[in-house]
Amino acid sequence: MTDQTIRSTLDASARKAVDVDLAGLADIHATSGPDELKRRIADRLAITPRDGSAPHYMLTDAGGAVLAGDIRRWPELDPSVSESGTITVGEGTSAYARATQLAPDLRLLVARETADNGALRQHVAIVFLGGGALFVLLVGALGKLAAGRLHWRIQRINDAFRESDDDRLIAMRPRGRSDEIDELTGHSAAALVRQKRLVEAYRDTSDQIAHEIRTPLMHLDGRLTKALAADPGEAVATRLLEGRADIKRLVAMLESLLDIAASKARQGDRHGLKRFDLSEMATRICELYADSAEESGHLFTWDIAPGIRFDGEEMQLTQLVTNLLDNAFKYVPSGGSVHLSLAAGPVLTVADDGPGIGEADREKVFRRFYRSPGDAAGSPGSGLGLALAKAIAERHDLSIAVAPSERSATFVVRAREA
Partner 1 sequence: METLKILYVEDDQRAASEVQEMAAGRGDIVVWENSGSGGLLRAGMEKFDVIILDRMLGDLDGLTILKRLRESGVGTPVLMLSALGRTTDRAEGLDAGADDYLAKPFEAQELLARLRALHRRAVGREHSAVILYGAFECHVKARTAFRDNRHLSLSPREFELFRYFMENAGEVVTREMLLQDVWNMSFDPQTNVVDVNVGRMRRKLEDGFKSPALETIWGSGYRLLDGR
| 39 contributes a contact to partner 1 by CB under 8 A | no
Give the nearest distance from C-beta 404 to partner 1 in angstroms.
26
Handedness of CA 246, 247, 248, 254 (dihedral sign): positive
| 184 contributes a contact to partner 1 by CB under 8 A | no
Give the nearest distance from C-beta 349 to partner 1 in angstroms.
18
Please name every residue paired with 274 in a beta bridge, in sequence order, or none if there are none: 312
Give the nearest distance from C-beta 287 to partner 1 in angstroms.
6
Is the Cβ–Cβ distance between 350 and 410 less than 8 Å? Answer: yes
| 244 contributes a contact to partner 1 by CB under 8 A | yes
Q: Which is nearer to partner 1, 74 or 202 (CB)?
A: 202
Q: What are phi and psi of 210, to 5 degrees?
A: -60, -45
| 375 contributes a contact to partner 1 by CB under 8 A | no
| 371 contributes a contact to partner 1 by CB under 8 A | no
| 137 contributes a contact to partner 1 by CB under 8 A | no
Q: Which is nearer to partner 1, 36 or 207 (CB)?
A: 207
Please name every residue paired with 415 in a beta bridge, in sequence order, or none if there are none: 398
- Cβ contacts of residue 218 below 8 Å, gap of 6+? none
| 299 contributes a contact to partner 1 by CB under 8 A | no
| Cis, peptide link before residue 346, omega less than 30° from 0 | yes
Candidate list 173, 248, 270, 309; residue touching partner 1; CB under 8 A: 248
Query: Restricting to residues 259-298, which ones interact with partner 1 according to CB under 8 A?
Result: 259, 262, 272, 284, 287-289, 291-292, 295
Tell me the C-alpha distance between 321 and 328, whole Å. 11
| 336 contributes a contact to partner 1 by CB under 8 A | no
Tell me the C-alpha distance between 274 and 271, whole Å. 9
- Cβ contacts of residue 121 below 8 Å, gap of 6+? 3, 6
| 221 contributes a contact to partner 1 by CB under 8 A | yes
Q: Which stretch binds partner 1 (CB under 8 A): 8-16, 21-29, 137-145, 211-219?
A: 211-219
| 228 contributes a contact to partner 1 by CB under 8 A | yes
Mind spelling out the 3-state secondary structure of 54-122? Answer: CEEEEEEECCCCEEEECCCCCCCCCHHHCCEEEEEECCCEEEEEEEEEEECCEEEEEEEECCCCHHHHH
Q: How far is CA 338 from CA 278, 301, 302, 317, 342, in A?
A: 20, 7, 8, 19, 14
List residues near partner 1 by CB under 8 A.
207, 210-211, 214-215, 217-219, 221-222, 225, 228, 237, 241, 244-245, 247-248, 251-252, 255, 258-259, 262, 272, 284, 287-289, 291-292, 295, 313-316, 318-319, 322-323, 325-326, 329-330, 380-381, 385
